[in-house]
Amino acid sequence: MNKDRLIYLPLGGAGEIGMNCYVYGYGAPGKERLILVDLGVTFPDMDGAPGVEVIMPDIQWLAERVDRLEAIFITHGHEDHIGALGHLMPRLGGKPVYARKFTANLGRGKLEEAGLASDALRVVEPRPMVIEAGPFKVQFMPLAHSIPESAALIIDTPAGRIVHTGDFKIDRSPVVGEPWDDAAWEALAAEAPVKALMCDSTNVFSPAPGRSEATLAGHLAELIAKAPGMFVATTFGSNVARLKTLAEAAKAAGRQVCVMGRSMKRMLSAATETGVLEGFPGTLTPDEAQEVPRRNLMLLVTGSQGERRAAAAALSRGKYLGFEMREGDSFLFSSRTIPGNEKDVIRIWNAFSEMGVTVHDDAGGLYHVSGHANRPDLEHVHRLLLPDMLVPMHGEHRHLKEHVRLATEAGIPGMVAVNGTMLDLTGEAPVAVDQIQTGRIYLDGTMLIGAMDGVIRDRIRMALNGHVLVTVILDEQDEPMGEPWVELMGLTETGRGGRDLTETMEADLADWMERAGRKVLRDDDRMDEELRKLVRQVAMEEIGKKPEVTVVVSRLVAE
Amino acid sequence: MNKDRLIYLPLGGAGEIGMNCYVYGYGAPGKERLILVDLGVTFPDMDGAPGVEVIMPDIQWLAERVDRLEAIFITHGHEDHIGALGHLMPRLGGKPVYARKFTANLGRGKLEEAGLASDALRVVEPRPMVIEAGPFKVQFMPLAHSIPESAALIIDTPAGRIVHTGDFKIDRSPVVGEPWDDAAWEALAAEAPVKALMCDSTNVFSPAPGRSEATLAGHLAELIAKAPGMFVATTFGSNVARLKTLAEAAKAAGRQVCVMGRSMKRMLSAATETGVLEGFPGTLTPDEAQEVPRRNLMLLVTGSQGERRAAAAALSRGKYLGFEMREGDSFLFSSRTIPGNEKDVIRIWNAFSEMGVTVHDDAGGLYHVSGHANRPDLEHVHRLLLPDMLVPMHGEHRHLKEHVRLATEAGIPGMVAVNGTMLDLTGEAPVAVDQIQTGRIYLDGTMLIGAMDGVIRDRIRMALNGHVLVTVILDEQDEPMGEPWVELMGLTETGRGGRDLTETMEADLADWMERAGRKVLRDDDRMDEELRKLVRQVAMEEIGKKPEVTVVVSRLVAE
C-alpha cells in the first residue's frame, strides 16, 4: 500500500470559475513531493462578501506541507491564475515560481506591489525547455487564450504524462501570440501517451466551434470607421490582441488612440516590454488627446464589467481625465458580461444613453469572441490526445459534470473532482482518495481573514437588519445609573403610529431595568441577552424588523 | 395659455423596468383631472437596498393632488404593475380601481393582505365597455402577455385618443386568453385616429419576431416524456399558460402534477376562480404526490429567478415538503433569467448538478418565450395604429431611446420621457412641460421609508466598512470615568503584527482622552468627531479599512 502514487488536489477553481489553484504530488502516500499550478483570486460581491477586496483559496493544507513543495507554475497572467501571488507567497516559503516572460512580468509587479522580493520568479521558454521539480519534469506548451502567452503544462511524472491545459481556445489566427498548432499537439501525443488530461471546462455548454480573434477585425473596422464622433471601446485589459485589433481599426479610420485605465496600460506595457506585442500604434496621453478632433480619436478604456472605479464607469458618470461623452459619440463593449455583473454594465449603458451616446455590445456576436474552447473544440482535443483519463477543471460543478459526460461518450473515463477532493491518478482511472478541508480567504482592507470567521456574516446581517446599540451604566451596587441609551444605525427613526423608535426602546428598556432584580443586573450575560431580546421585540412590533443588537454594560467601580 | 391640455407623467416604469406608475391628466394647466395607470413594485438587491422587502414609486406628487384623481386602472396582474396596491392605496383616498376579473382577483388579495377594504375594486369587461372617469373614457382592450387578461387601455380624451399598451406581445395562439387580433386593432384604428401611442419597450432590442406560447408545447412534451425520473419545472408563477402547457405535457407523459409554492398556487386558483383557466389537469398535494412513483410525477415549483425562499431553491438545498431531488431526476428552468439574478439561478443549477440531477434551461430557445413584443412586432403595431406620436414606456433609458429611434424611422414623432418628466400631448408632438421630483419608497420590515432617507445608505456602509462602537463615560466635572470602551461588529479582531484591534483602539482613545483638555471633553460634538477620527485612523493603520463609527458619550449627573 505504500507504493508511490500520483495525486491531484484542486484547492481552488474546481467547482467554480475563479481562484485557480491545483496541487500535484508524486511519492509515497503522505510523503508526495508537490508542485502547485496557479495561484489565483476571485472577486467578491455585495451578496457574499461586502467590503472585501479580493477572494483567494485557503492554502492551509499546502502551507502545512511547504517543505514538500518543489515549485510553483503559473499558466498565464489572468487574475484568477496569478492574482494571489503577492498575498500568498509569504506562506509558500520562497519556492521558485515558473512562468513565461509576459506572465512573469506581471507576477513581478504583483510581488513588488506587495513589498516582496521577486527573485523567486523564473522566466521559462516554451517546450522543449524542461523544468525539473523533484519527480516532475514540466514543459510549457503555448496555447491561445484571451491574454498573451497562455500555456498548457506538460507534466511528466514517473507514473506518466499529465497535460494540464490551463485556459485555452483553439485559435489558428489569434492576432497576438502563437496560433493553435495541430501538428505540434500530434507530435506531443506521439512522443508519449497522455495519462491524464486536466482540461478547461468553461465553455463546455457552447455548442458551436469557437471563433478566432482574427474574425473580429473586419467588423470592428467597419463599426469604427462609420462612427461619427469620438469612439470609446472597452474590453478586458489583458486582451492585448483585442486592444491591437481595436487600435489598428482606429488607425485605419484616421483615429489616434488614447488608453485610459491602470490595468490596461499595465498590460500594454508588459506586452511591449516582453516583445509579445509589436506594431501597436503610438498612443496619446489624455492631455494630448484633448487637442485631437473627436472624429479622429479613439479611447481604449478599462471597465468592461461595469467596475465602478474603472474608466468606463467614470465616463458614464461625467468628466474623466478631461473627457466627457456627448451626443454622437459611440461606446463599444468589446466583451461579454460575466454573470453577476449585468446590472453594473447596464447602468453604464443607460447613463451613456442619457448622454446621447450610441452604445454597441456583443449581442450580434460581431465584436467579441470567447477565450475558452467550446464543446467541439474540447472534443477535438480529447481526440488529439486520447488520454487515459480526463479530469475537468476551471468550471462550476455543472461544467465539470458535463465535461465528464462528454469525455465518457468518447470512451475516456473521467471524474468530477471539486476543490478539496484528492484524486489518485496512478491507476487506469482516477480514484478519490481523500477529502481535504478547503475554503476561501478574504483580503479585507489589508488583512487576510477566513471566510468562516464570522466577520463578513456580521456585516451582511447589519446590512439586512440594521444595528442597534444599547448602553447601560451600573454603579458598584449594580444599580442603574440613569436610563438605558439607544442608538440606531441603518434603521428608520419612526415606528408605528409615528412613535420615535429610539424613545420607545429606551422606555421599554428602562421599565425592564426597573423591574429586573439585583440578581439579573449583576449578571452581564443575562443582561446582554435580555436587553437584546427586548430590543428585537420592540423593533419587530414597531417596524417589523429584527435588528442586530450590541449591548454595552458599563460598571463603575470605586477608584 | 390656460387652454385645457392633455398631460402624461410617469412616476415609475419609464427609465427602468419595474414599478410601473403612469399619470394622465386633462384640463386647465395645474387643474387637470387625473387618472393613474398601474401601481407596481420593483425588487431590491444587496447592492442597492439590502434588507428591503420591496421598492415602489414615490407618489408624493399624486398624493398631494388626490382630490384631482378620478380613478386608477390596472392593466394586468404582474407585481410591477399591481404590487404596490396594498401599500399605497391608503394615500390615494379610496378612489375606484378598475381591472379585469383575473387582475381584480389578485388586487383584492393584495388589499386584504394589507388589511384594507377591497370595495374600491371594480371588475370591468373588455371593450366595448367604457369607464368614464372625469374627462376620460377608458376601455380595456385584451392583449396577450405572460399572464392572463393583460389589457391595453384605450383612453379617449377631449384632446384625442391615447392607446396605452401595457405589457404585451403579438401572440396569435397564446394557449390561455385572447389571441392577438389584427382585425380588432384595425377596427380600433378605423374608429378614431390615435393621437398618442404609449408603448411597451422591453424587447425593442430583440430583432426577430416574437414566438407564440403555443410553439413550446411540442418541445416541452418531448422533453418531459423522455425524462427518466421525477420531472421538476419552474417558471414565473403568473404564467398560467405555461403552467397549463407543462401540466398537459406531464399528463400526456403519464405524470401527475403537484404544485409547490404559494405564489404559483395563488395564480392558479385566481385563474380557475375567474374562469380564465379551464381544463387544467387535477393536481396532487405534496402528501399525495409522495405515493406516486417518481417516473409518474411532475412538480411545478416557484423560484425561476433563484429566489432563496422559493421552492426551487429549497429543493436545491435538500428536502422540501418531503421531496428530495436525486440522480436521474430532471429540472427545467422554463424561464429566462432577469439580469441581476444570474448568480442565484446558477447556484441552484450547480446544487442540482451535485445531486446528479439533469438541468435544462432555455439556452436553446425551446422551453421559453418572452411575454413582450420584439422589434418587428412593435413596428407592426406602429403601422397598424399610425399614431400622431409615440411615447415609449416600460423600459430602461436605452430601450426608450431605441424605441423612439424606431418610431422616428417610420415617420412617427416620439420622445423619451423618464420618470418625473411631464409631457403635454395636446399638440402635434409631445412637449416636455415640467420636471417633477420623483423617487423610490422602500418597504422595510413593515415601514415605508424614502430611498434618500439615509437609512439604507448607512446599512450599505456598515456592510462595506464594518461598525465600531465607542462608549465613554464622564462625570459631572467632565472627567472621564474609566477608559473608553470599544466594540467591533463586522471587523477582524486582529490587526497588523497580530495586535488585538480593540485593545489598540482603546489604548489610543484613552491616551487621547488623557491629553484632551477640559474644553474638549465638555463638548459632545467635538468629542464625537475626534474619537471617530481617531478610531478610523487606527483602523486604517491596523487593518486598512475606515469603519463606520458610533460614539456614545454618557455624562453622569448628580441625582
**pLDDT interval class at B558 (50, 70, 90):** low
| C-alpha cell recorded at residue A37 | 499550478
Domain co-membership, A158 together with A268: no
Res B136: pLDDT: 98
Mean pLDDT of chain B: 96
In whole angstroms, give the CA distance from residue A22 to residue A214: 32
As a whole number of angstroms, the distance between CA B370 and CA B373 comes to 8
In angstroms, the CA B349 to CA B331 distance is 9
- By percentage, how much of chain A surpasses pLDDT 70? 99
Mark whether B439 and B477 lie in a shared domain.
no
Residue B461 in any domain: the answer is no
Cβ atoms of B469 and B550 within 8 Å: the answer is yes
Eight-class DSSP state of B91: G
Q: What is the rounded CA–CA span in Å between residue B542 and residue A446?
A: 8
Looking at residue B61, its amino acid is: W
**B350–A545: do the CB atoms touch at under 8 Å?**
no
Chain A residues lying within 8 Å of B343, measured CB to CB: 45, 47, 339-340
Put simply, the answer to whether B543 touches A444 (Cβ < 8 Å) is yes
Give the Cα separation of A351 and B117 in Å (integer).
42
Q: Is the pLDDT of residue B559 over 70?
A: no
Question: What is the Cα–Cα distance from A467 to A459, expressed in whole angstroms?
Answer: 10
Q: In DSSP terms, which residues pair with A160 in a beta bridge?
A: A157
ipTM summary value: 0.94
The alpha-carbon gap from B424 to the nearest alpha carbon of chain A, in Å, equals 21
Do A13 and A161 fall within a single domain?
A: yes
Residue B411 burial (CB < 10 Å; 0-12/13-18/19+)?
exposed
Which of B446, B449, B468 to probe the A interface (max A CBs under 10 A)? B446
The confidence score (pLDDT) of residue B162 equals 98
DSSP B146: S
The residue of chain B nearest to residue A364, with distances taken between CA atoms, is B207
How many Å lie between the alpha carbon of A477 and the closest alpha carbon of chain B?
16
pLDDT given for residue A280 in this prediction: 93
CA dihedral B474, B479, B482, B485 (to 10 degrees): 50
CB A475 within 8 A of CB B558: no
Query: What is the DSSP secondary-structure string of B260-282?
Result: ESHHHHHHHHHHHHTTS---PPP
Run of H or E residues at B532: helix B524-543
Beta carbons of B552 and A473 less than 8 Å apart: no
Q: What CATH number is attached to the domain comprising B548?
A: 3.10.20.580
Mean pLDDT across B141-168: 98
The yes-or-no verdict on residue B2 having pLDDT over 80 is no
Residue A549, min C-alpha distance to chain B (Å): 10
Chains A, B: CB contacts within 8 A come to: 197
Are A223 and A301 in the same domain? yes
B418-475 residue pLDDT tens: 999 999 999 999 999 999 999 999 999 999 999 999 999 999 999 999 999 999 999 9
Q: Using CB atoms, pick whichever of A456, A495, A554 lies closest to residue B473.
A: A554
Q: Which domain holds residue B181?
A: 5-208+370-450
B199: β partners: B392
At B33 the pLDDT is 98
CA dihedral B438, B440, B441, B445 (to 10 degrees): -170
Distance CA A422, CA A415 (A): 11
Angle subtended by helix axes B455-465 and A455-465, to nearest 10: 180
Express each pLDDT in A5-32 by its tens digit.
Answer: 999 999 999 999 999 999 999 999 999 9
Interchain contact, A489 vs B45, CB within 8 Å: no
Q: What is the pLDDT of residue B530?
A: 96
Please indicate whether, in this complex, the C-beta atoms of A544 and B340 are within 8 angstroms of each other: no
Is there a single domain that holds both residue A374 and residue A442?
yes
User: Which of B76, B232, B94 has the alpha carbon at shortest distance from B150?
Assistant: B76
pLDDT value at position B261?
A: 96
DSSP assignment of A227-249 = --S-EEEE--TT-HHHHHHHHHH
In chain B, what residues touch A490 (CB-CB under 8 Å)? Answer: 51, 455-456, 458-459, 462
3-state secondary structure A451-472: CCCCHHHHHHHHHHHCEEEEEE
Q: State whether B431 and B533 are in the same domain.
A: no
B459 domain residue, yes or no: no
CATH number of the domain that B139 lies in? 3.60.15.10
Do B304 and B321 lie in a common domain?
yes
Q: In what order do the strands lie in the sheet with B231-234?
A: B283-284, B256-260, B297-301, B231-234, B330-333, B358-360
Across the interface, do B444 and A543 touch by the CB < 8 Å criterion?
Answer: yes
Q: What is the DSSP string of B208-248?
A: SPPPPGGGHHHHHHHHHHH--S-EEEE--TT-HHHHHHHHH
In angstroms, the separation between the Cα of residue B72 and the nearest Cα of chain A is 27
| B55, B338, B462: best to mutate for the A interface, most A CBs within 10 A | B462
The pLDDT, as a whole number, for residue A243 is 98
- Residue A558: pLDDT over 90: no
The pair phi, psi for residue A211, each rounded to 5°, is -100, 150
Give dist(CA B382, CA B394) in Å, integer.
16
Strand order from edge to edge, sheet including A297-301: A283-284, A256-260, A297-301, A231-234, A330-333, A358-360
Q: What is the DSSP string of A304-332?
A: TT--TTSHHHHHHHS-BTTB---TT-EEE
Residue B489 is assigned to a structural domain of this protein: yes
pLDDT at position B556 is 85
**Yes or no, beta carbons of B398 and A453 under 8 Å apart:** no
Q: Which residue has the cell 500594454?
A: A268
Asked if B460 and A463 come within 8 Å (Cβ–Cβ), the reply is: yes
Same domain flag for A84 and A42: yes
Q: What is the pLDDT of residue B364?
A: 84
| Band of pLDDT at residue A1, cut at 50, 70 and 90 | low
pLDDT bin (cut points 50, 70, 90) of residue B497 is confident
The pLDDT of residue A509:
97
Chain A residue numbers with beta carbons less than 8 Å from the beta carbon of B401 are 353
Cβ-Cβ contacts under 8 Å, A346 against chain B: 339, 396, 398
* pLDDT, tens only, A112-136: 999 999 999 999 999 999 999 999 9
Residue A455: inside a domain: no
**A353 closest CB neighbour out of B397, B455, B458:** B397
Compute the nearest-CA separation of B427 from chain A (Å): 25
Among the candidates B397, B421, B450, a domain finishes at B450
Residues A316 and A352 in one domain: yes
CB-based contact A543 B485, cutoff 8 Å: no
By C-alpha distance, the chain B residue nearest A494 is: B447
* Cβ pair A463:B458 closer than 8 A: no
Report the C-alpha gap between A372 and A458 in whole angstroms: 38
Predicted confidence at residue A557, as pLDDT, reads: 77
Q: Do B453 and A556 touch (CB under 8 A)?
A: no
As beta bridge partners, residue A555 has A474
Record: contact B550-A349, CB cut-off 8 A:
no
- What is the chain B residue with the closest CA to A498? B447
Across B133-156, b (16+ Cβ under 10 Å) vs e yields bbbbebbbbbbbbbbbbbbbbbbb
Do A62 and A172 lie in one domain? The reply is: yes
Indicate if the pLDDT at residue A559 is higher than 70. Answer: no
DSSP annotation string for A72-113: EE----SHHHHTTHHHHGGGTTT--EEE-HHHHHHHHHHHHH
> Is a pLDDT exceeding 60 seen at residue B490?
yes
User: Angle between the A375-385 and A182-191 helix axes, to the nearest 10 degrees?
Assistant: 40
Whole-number percent of chain B with pLDDT over 90 = 95
For chain B, the domain total comes to 3
Whose cell is 411575454? That residue is B371
Range of lowest pLDDT (A513-522, B29-38, B262-271) = A513-522
C-alpha cell at A277: 506585442
Residue B301 falls inside a structural domain: yes
Which class for B531: exposed (0-12), middle (13-18), buried (19 or more C-beta within 10 A)?
Answer: buried
- If asked whether residues B236 and B333 sit together in one domain, one would say yes
pLDDT at B363: 85
Contact list in A for residue B490 (CB cut-off 8 A) is 51, 455-456, 458-459, 462
Is residue A485 within 8 Å of residue A472, measured between CB atoms? Answer: yes
Amino acid identity, position A457: R
Domain boundary among A450, A483, A503: A450
Q: Identify all chain B residues contacting A552, using CB atoms and an 8 Å cutoff.
A: 469, 471, 485, 487, 552
pLDDT per position as a tens digit, A210-221? 999 999 999 999
Distance set, CA A192 to CA A428, A557, B235 (Å)? 16, 80, 51
**Of B360, B387, B405, which residue is a domain's last?**
B360
| Cα distance between residue A426 and residue A244, in whole Å | 44
Cα A420–Cα A423–Cα A427 angle in degrees, nearest 5: 180
Q: Which of B353, B482, B550 sits opposite A397 (nearest CB)?
A: B353
Q: Which of B46, B337, B357, B468 to mutate to test the interface with A (most CBs of A within 10 A)?
A: B46
Residue of B nearest to A417 (CA): B354
- The answer to whether the CB atoms of A453 and B339 lie below 8 A apart is no
Question: Using a CB-CB distance cutoff of 8 angstroms, which residues of chain A are in contact with residue B451?
Answer: none
Q: Return all residues near B54 (Cβ < 8 A) that are at least 6 apart.
A: B41, B42, B43, B44, B83, B84, B87, B442, B443
CA distance B135 to chain A (A): 34
Does residue A459 form part of some domain? Answer: no
Q: Do B554 and A482 touch (CB under 8 A)?
A: yes
Across the interface, of A205, A459, A469, the residue whose CB is closest to B552 is A469
Residue in chain B nearest A557 by alpha carbon: B482
Contact A473 B556 (CB under 8 A): yes
Residue among A353, A545, A554 minimizing CB distance to B485: A554
pLDDT range class, residue A492, cuts 50, 70, 90: very high
User: Is B396 in contact with A350 (CB distance < 8 Å)?
Assistant: yes
Q: Express each pLDDT in A61-118 by its tens digit.
A: 999 999 999 999 999 999 999 999 999 999 998 899 999 999 999 999 999 999 999 9
Whether residues A473 and B554 touch (CB distance < 8 A) is answered with yes
Q: Of the candidates A153, A191, A16, which has an alpha carbon nearest to the alpha carbon of residue A71?
A: A153
Is residue A460 included in any domain, yes or no? no
pLDDT in tens, B370-420: 999 999 999 999 999 999 999 999 999 999 999 999 999 999 999 999 999
Give the CATH number for residue A304: 3.40.50.10710
Is residue A457 included in any domain, yes or no?
no
Shared-domain flag, residues B31 and B65: yes
Q: A418-460, pLDDT tens digit by residue?
A: 999 999 999 999 999 999 999 999 999 999 999 999 999 999 9
Residue A556's pLDDT is 85
- All residues of chain B having their beta carbon less than 8 Å from the beta carbon of residue A455 are 466, 490-492
| Interface test mutation site (partner B, options A16, A475, A489, A537, max chain B beta carbons within 10 A) | A489
Q: What is the pTM of this model?
A: 0.95
